[in-house]
Amino acid sequence: MANNFSRFISVACAAIAAFGGILSAAPAAAQGDLLVAPTRIILDGRRGTEVILSNIGSEEATYRIELELRRMTATGQLIDVETDDANELEQAALAMVRYAPRRITLPPGQPQSVRISARPGAELPDGEYRVHMSFRAIPKPTPVTEAPEDSQGIRIKLVPIYGVTIPVIVRHGRLEATVAISNPQVAEGVRGPELRLAMVRNGTKSTYGELRVTRPGSDEPVFLARGIAIYSEVAERAMEFDLTPEQAAAMKGQLRFEYREMPEAGGAVIASVDAVLG
Amino acid sequence: MKKFLRFGAASAVVAASLGMSSVAQAQDTATADAFAEILTALQLELDAGSKLDFGSMVVTGAGTVSLDADTGALNCTAAGIVCSGTTETATFNVTAGSALKDVTITFDTPAVTLLRSGGVIGTAADELELTNFNSDAAFITDPMGDYYEVTLGATGLATFEVGGDLTFDGTELAGVYQGSFAVSVEYS
């Protein structure tokens, strides 16, 4: 297993290095650009996995990897939660997820994997535990700037510190969830026509999938939104999707709304509803 | 759409389409004992050469200078402030495997204090405030706090601009003021 794994990693790295090489041939990117794969991690507590971090910028960069907490709101926003404000579930999640390394310096085009695993305690109640792993470049100290040409003026030098977070979900025990789609409608929003609906989730597990809107007798969706997560702290998610005028025009009459697992996860229907829209 | 590959067997052959402009697909010509796992990747880049740039200002009184990420326009109407030079909002490119997915954009700190190069921390004449980070991304109202979100396009790519407000108390000395601001893309 260990052998297979290391071979797996080395081949993966070679492939990624080639990938990075192609990218860095593009016009000079800034220091701190990054690529993270995969974009969601689901652990069952038995086996670990790894996340690949690659420097796709044009300069060497040091990245800091941290575990953070987020809570999803009813509109789907991910709100930062300070460790001091963490509830029991969140504290347990932080305590059980292990990862290394926590700081990586990478030359341009270079990937490295971060090992991650979860060790839920034996007495831990069944449930879904989640942290968000953040990857962020640490800016290099800026050299002392020369005096501005116009000595009367004020100039501003801003360094963006930017990064991404991805969810790390630990599923412990037997979990299930059901979802119902309610009240789909097309309405006029601030930016134009919008599809609005709510998804009501029940159970102990989060769900992840795509929303497909189809007309009877057609498999081709008139509207598709992917990667819709409803985390376990959310009982009902209100959703608004911007529509093109064509999509809005097509969303009339008899329609079928389906929330399905992502195609790579099997595409099973999680929830569906038939509705007639004016 | 950006996909990421890792191969399980040495005999796996990676086709050259990896990472190329639009669709990166695996053309796996390996024999039956190979396995390939396609990983979706999430990328965040500052657009090449892009920066949040307010140009230069001559300050004789208190006021605010705003850069609107939606229009790119600089608002420099305060009586005590004269703005000049080119301005720019910072452009970020986010790419992920899932097209048509919404991702949240957050500014980690609501306010950033910029310090004059050579100045002293805590001295009013050496500091100014950068606040009200804004983006051209969709603004979503939420009882728990409003936020920005972008929808990844059909190719998995989205671009957003970042602007903000500079607040002067009018005592600032001429010079270069430095600081950093944080932008996060939250994948769900």
Which among B19, B56, B151 has the least Cβ separation from residue A19?
B19
Scanning every residue of chain A, which has its alpha carbon at the shortest distance from the alpha carbon of B96? A39
Q: Select B43-186's CATH number: 2.60.40, 3.30.70, 1.20.5, 1.10.3470.
A: 2.60.40
Query: Mutating which of B37, B161, B187 best tests the A interface, going by the most A Cβ atoms within 10 A?
Result: B187
Say yes or no: do domains A2-141+149-172 and A177-277 share a fold: yes
Which among B40, B145, B162 has the least Cβ separation from residue A37?
B40
Other CB atoms within 10 A of residue B176 CB: 22
Query: Mutating which of B1, B2, B3, B4 best tests the A interface, going by the most A Cβ atoms within 10 A?
Result: B4
Q: Do B46 and A148 touch (CB under 8 A)?
A: no
Query: Mutating which of A22, A155, A190 best tests the B interface, going by the most B Cβ atoms within 10 A?
Result: A155
Domain boundaries, chain B: 1-40, 43-186
pLDDT at A149: 52
Closest of B37, B50, B56, B43 to residue A20, by C-alpha: B43
Closest of A56, A82, A87, A58 to residue A69, by C-alpha: A82
Could you report the per-residue pLDDT of A214-262, keeping only the tens digit for each?
999 998 999 999 999 999 999 999 999 999 999 999 999 999 999 999 9
Q: Contact, A110 vs A58, CB < 8 A?
A: no
Q: Contact, A262 vs A269, CB < 8 A?
A: no
> Rounded to whole angstroms, what are the CA distances from A139 to A111, B29, B109, B175, B181?
19, 41, 16, 22, 11
Which among A12, A19, A240 has the least Cβ separation from residue B7?
A12
pLDDT above 90: percentage of residues in chain A: 75
Per-residue pLDDT of chain A (278 residues; tens, 9 = 90+): 444 444 444 444 444 444 443 333 333 446 789 999 999 999 986 789 999 999 999 999 999 999 999 999 999 999 999 999 999 999 999 999 999 999 999 999 999 999 999 988 888 999 999 999 999 998 877 665 555 455 678 999 899 999 999 999 999 999 999 999 999 999 998 889 999 999 999 999 999 999 999 999 998 999 999 999 999 999 999 999 999 999 999 999 999 999 999 988 899 999 999 999 98
Could you report the per-residue pLDDT of B80-125, keeping only the tens digit for each?
999 999 999 999 999 987 788 999 999 978 899 999 999 999 999 9
d(CA A73, CA A85): 16
**Which CATH superfamily, name and number, covers A2-141+149-172?**
Immunoglobulins (2.60.40.10)
Q: Contact, B159 vs B93, CB < 8 A?
A: yes
Q: What fold does the segment set A177-277 form as a domain?
A: Immunoglobulin-like (2.60.40)
> Rounded to whole angstroms, what are the CA distances from B94 to A85, A273, B167?
30, 33, 29
Could you report the per-residue pLDDT of A16-40, keeping only the tens digit for each?
444 443 333 333 446 789 999 999 9
Q: Which helix (H) or strand (E) holds B161?
A: strand B157-168
- DSSP assignments along A88-103, one per residue: HHHHHHHHHEEEE-SE
Spans of chain B, pLDDT less than 50: 1, 8-33
How many Å lie between the alpha carbon of B46 and the closest alpha carbon of chain A?
6
Interface of B with A in 79-138 (CB under 8 A): 84, 90, 92, 94, 96-102, 104, 106, 108, 114, 117-118, 128, 130, 138
Domain boundaries, chain A: 2-141+149-172, 177-277
Q: Do A78 and B104 touch (CB under 8 A)?
A: yes
Residue A272, beta-bridge partner list: A258
